[in-house]
Amino acid sequence: QKEVEQDPGPLSVPEGAIVSLNCTYSNSAFQYFMWYRQYSRKGPELLMYTYSSGNKEDGRFTAQVDKSSKYISLFIRDSQPSDSATYLCAMSEMNNDMRFGAGTRLTVKP
Q: Of 90 and 108, which has the nearer Cβ to another protein? A: 90
Residue among 62 and 92 whose Cβ is closer to another protein: 92
Nearest distance in Å: CB 14, another protein: 25
Distances (CA, A) of 36 to 68, 76, 83, 87: 23, 13, 12, 6
Q: Which residues bind another protein (CB under 8 A)?
A: 4, 6, 8, 32, 34, 36, 41-46, 49, 51, 88, 90, 92, 95-103
Residue 19 identity: V
